[in-house]
């Protein structure tokens, strides 16, 4: 690689529509939608490979999602700091970017190619002054980084291969996440998603390599595009309270309720709800979709009462009640505990949409000018 070659890729954020929490179990369905807020990753080659900045080859990273830029060098397939005083906390702020680069580099090594050398910058539209909206910034930066680094290195992965690389990178950090946010970032639009067993695919990659993990079947995994809801408008409200999906999922995994009759009932009912929502979207049945949104909200509320996860904050509850008051249906999107909620209501009733936004603002919920986006991560 010579000259100042530059590659730019971006990936959209996402919203869970139905199926969060249950989708973490392999094979269970969920519905997600990609939205028009993006993370953009730019990869630029060094002026003279191997001697950039007078130091040994490596990667320079800057990101508006983190506190500062960093230079890292390759050691045994990992990107480690040039400064020996940089500890684990320095890696934590760039964990998803680093894991995405390292995963692509593992694939390159398996194909007999050298570790890449470049500068990488991240610009995110998924947060406000450092505060995340809950639109899946970690997933979007992972997808965009995989795509940009792969393209810079001359690889041409398919959509599914980009997804698999992104999931492997994410699972190296924490295998509890479903990967639905990654799928939304890759395929875009409204999607039906079923998760693979992340621990199993991670073990496969560690035992047999990334190339083998790209080629082998992933039991449970499935994704397909869905038509947008017929005659319904999607409205998004932000509570102003950032939430940690990782922390909430970890809390659920630690609770003794996991595997109990109550938890099995939630997973079963939510799975049925997601399947019905998929059928409603594919059948153009807006009323049935609204029913499933309400049903999903009730199931999340029951889980919240039984497990005390803190899914429903006062503002999320107010968000949902405001939608019902104007004839729509609403629920938290994703893990809850803050972040965003979604509402679906009659697209042909602008007065109801205006009333909803007014009610949200009165309750301290910020209406976000966010819309679904058909395209996913740019190739």
The whole-angstrom separation of Cα 50 and Cα 117 is 8
Chain-wide mean pLDDT for the chain? 89
Residue 373 domain-assigned?
no
Residue 283 domain-assigned?
yes
Last residue of a domain, one of 201, 226, 251: 226
8 A C-beta contact, residue 228 and residue 283: no
Of 86, 87, 82, 120, the residue nearest 102 (C-alpha): 120
The reply to whether 142 and 239 lie within a common domain is no
Give the contacts of 4 (CB within 8 A, at least 6 positions apart): 44, 45, 46, 47
Residue 361 domain-assigned?
yes
Question: Tokens 């506190």 identify what position?
Answer: 67
8 A C-beta contact, residue 39 and residue 186: no
Q: Specify the CATH number for the domain of residue 61.
A: 3.30.230.10
Last residue of a domain, one of 173, 192, 226: 226
Residue 159 domain-assigned?
yes
Q: Specify the CATH number for the domain of residue 283.
A: 3.30.70.890
Which one has a higher pLDDT value, 91 or 184?
A: 184
Give me the domain span that covers residue 157: 6-226
The reply to whether 53 and 104 lie within a common domain is yes
At 66-111, the pLDDT tens digits run 666 789 999 999 999 887 555 555 566 799 999 999 999 999 999 9
Residue 379 domain-assigned?
no
Q: How many structural domains are present in the chain?
A: 2
Last residue of a domain, one of 226, 258, 293: 226
At 249-290, the pLDDT tens digits run 455 545 555 667 777 888 999 999 999 999 999 999 999 999
pLDDT tier at 186, thresholds 50, 70, 90: very high
What is the separation of C-alpha 87 from the centre of its chain, rounded to a whole number of angstroms?
A: 27
Q: Lowest mean pLDDT: which of 34-48, 125-139, 168-182, 363-377?
A: 125-139
Token digits of residue 85: 């005083």
State the pLDDT at residue 312. Answer: 87
């Amino acid at each position: 690689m010579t000259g100042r070659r530059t590659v730019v890729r971006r990936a959209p954020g996402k919203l869970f529509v139905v199926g969060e929490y249950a989708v973490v179990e392999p094979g269970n369905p969920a519905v997600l939608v990609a939205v028009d807020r993006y993370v953009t990753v730019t990869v630029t080659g060094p002026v003279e490979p191997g001697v950039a900045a007078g130091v040994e080859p490596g990667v320079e990273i800057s990101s508006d999602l983190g506190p500062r830029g960093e230079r890292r060098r390759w050691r045994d397939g990992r990107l480690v700091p040039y400064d020996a005083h940089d500890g684990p906390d320095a890696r934590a702020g760039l964990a998803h970017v680093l894991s995405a680069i390292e995963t692509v580099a593992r694939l390159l090594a398996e194909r007999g190619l050298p570790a890449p050398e470049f500068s990488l910058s991240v610009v995110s539209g998924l947060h406000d002054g450092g505060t995340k909206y809950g639109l899946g910034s970690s997933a979007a930066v992972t997808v965009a980084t995989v795509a940009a680094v792969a393209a810079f290195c001359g690889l041409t992965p398919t959509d599914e291969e980009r997804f698999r690389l992104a999931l492997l990178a994410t699972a190296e950090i924490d295998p509890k996440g479903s990967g639905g946010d990654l799928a939304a970032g890759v395929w875009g639009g409204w999607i039906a998603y079923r998760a693979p067993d992340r621990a199993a695919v991670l073990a496969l990659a560690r035992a047999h390599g990334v190339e083998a993990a790209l080629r082998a079947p992933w039991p449970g995994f499935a994704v397909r595009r869905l038509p947008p809801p017929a005659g319904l408008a999607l409205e998004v409200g932000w509570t102003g309270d950032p939430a940690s999906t990782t922390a909430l999922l970890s809390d659920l995994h630690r609770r003794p309720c996991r595997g109990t009759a109550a938890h099995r009932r939630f997973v079963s009912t939510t799975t049925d709800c997601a399947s019905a929502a998929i059928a409603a979207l594919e059948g153009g049945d807006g009323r049935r979709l609204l029913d499933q949104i309400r049903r999903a909200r009730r199931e999340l509320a029951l889980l919240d009462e039984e497990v005390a996860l803190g899914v429903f904050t006062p503002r999320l509850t107010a968000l949902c009640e405001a939608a019902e008051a104007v004839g729509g249906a609403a629920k938290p999107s994703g893990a809850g505990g803050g972040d965003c909620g979604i509402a679906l209501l009659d697209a042909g009733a602008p007065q109801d949409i205006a009333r909803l936004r007014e009610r949200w603002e009165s309750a301290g919920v910020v209406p976000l000018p966010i819309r679904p986006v058909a395209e996913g991560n740019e190739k």
